[in-house]
Amino acid sequence: MICAGIDAGSRTTKVVLLDGDGCDVVAAGVVDQGIEQDALAESLLDRLLRERRIGRKQLGMVVATGYGRKLISSADSTITEITCQAWGVRRAMPEVRTIIDIGGQDSKLLRLHPNGTVGDFVMNDRCAAGTGRFLELLATRLGVRLARLGELAGCSRDAAVISSMCVVFAETEIIGLLASGVLPEDIVAGVQASLATRVAAMTGSNVTAPVVFTGGVAMVPGMEAALSVAIGQTLSVAPQPQLTCALGAATLAWGRLNGQSTPT
C-alpha cells in the first residue's frame, strides 16, 4: 500500500508518496495554492499517482497537514504542521534538535527533545517581515525573479540597513533607498539580514545544535548564510526543504496504516 502526505500550505500545496515499506519516496510534487485548495490537492495527488501508474485502490492512508488540512477531502486524518515538520526533518536528519521553518506566510522555531519529540515551539504568523512574503515583495519591487535574490545579495559590498519592523513600511523604505541611489544588491542583502534578524528574535538564547533550516525560504540563496549570522550558529538546510512537512505527513500516515501510535 502507498501512503500520502498532503501539505496544504498558505502559498503552495505539496504531496509526497511513500512506498509500502515506508522507506522510499515514490513521488513528490508542488503546485501554487489557490481558492480551490481541495481541488488543487486532489489534482496533484491524481497526477502523481497516474505518473507512477498507481491506482487509487493502492492508496492505503492519506494524512493532511498545513493551513488547509481540514479542507482536504481525501484525507483519512489531519495532523498539525508542527508535528509533521518535526517528523519530516528528522527522517532526513535524525540528529536535529532545533528546526527553523520559514514559509510564505509564517515562520516557526521548533525545539526537539533528544528522542525527537517536539519540546516547544514559537510561531510568527502576524508579521510578514519575518516570512517569505517579504522576499516576494522585494522581488516584485526590483522586477526580478525570487531565485535571483541570492545572486544579487552575493554581489553586495555594503548591505543596506532596513529599520522598519513592518513589511508595509519596509517596502516604503526600500522605495526611498532606491530613489536615493542605493544599489539593488545592497538592498537585497539588507532585506535578507532584516528577515533573518526577525526570525532569530524568536530563538531567544536557546538554540541547541544541530540546527536545520527548512521551508520554502530555505530554497532562496543567501538566506542560509544570513540566518546563520543572525543566530550565531552554523545551520544546515534540509534536503528538499519545501517538501519536509508533506514528507512528515506521509511518514505518519505510514505509521498509522501499520498500527503504530503516532501523535496528532
CB neighbour list of residue 211: distance below 8 Å, 6 or more residues apart: 96, 97, 98, 99, 100, 231, 233, 234, 235, 236
pLDDT at residue 165 tops 80:
no
Average pLDDT over residues 72-97: 95
Q: At what angle do helices 184-200 and 167-179 cross, to 10 degrees?
A: 160
Tell me if the bond preceding 263 is cis, omega within 30° of 0.
no
If one compares 147 and 219, the residue with the highest pLDDT of the two is: 219
pLDDT of residue 125: 61
Longest dimension (CA), the chain: 63
pLDDT of residue 127: 66
Distance CA 81, CA 133 (A): 19
Model confidence pTM above 0.85: yes
Distance CA 161, CA 66 (A): 33
DSSP label at residue 235: -
Backbone angles phi, psi at 9, to 5 degrees: -80, 180
Q: Where are the domains of the chain?
A: 2-86+242-257, 96-237
Q: How confident is the model at residue 263 (pLDDT cuts 50, 70, 90)?
A: low
Residue type, 143: G
pLDDT at residue 31 tops 70:
yes
Looking at CATH, the fold of the domain delimited by 96-237 is given as Nucleotidyltransferase; domain 5 (3.30.420)
Average pLDDT over residues 195-215: 88
Domain 2-86+242-257 shares a fold with domain 96-237: yes
Task: Report domain 2-86+242-257's class.
Answer: alpha beta
pLDDT of residue 126: 60
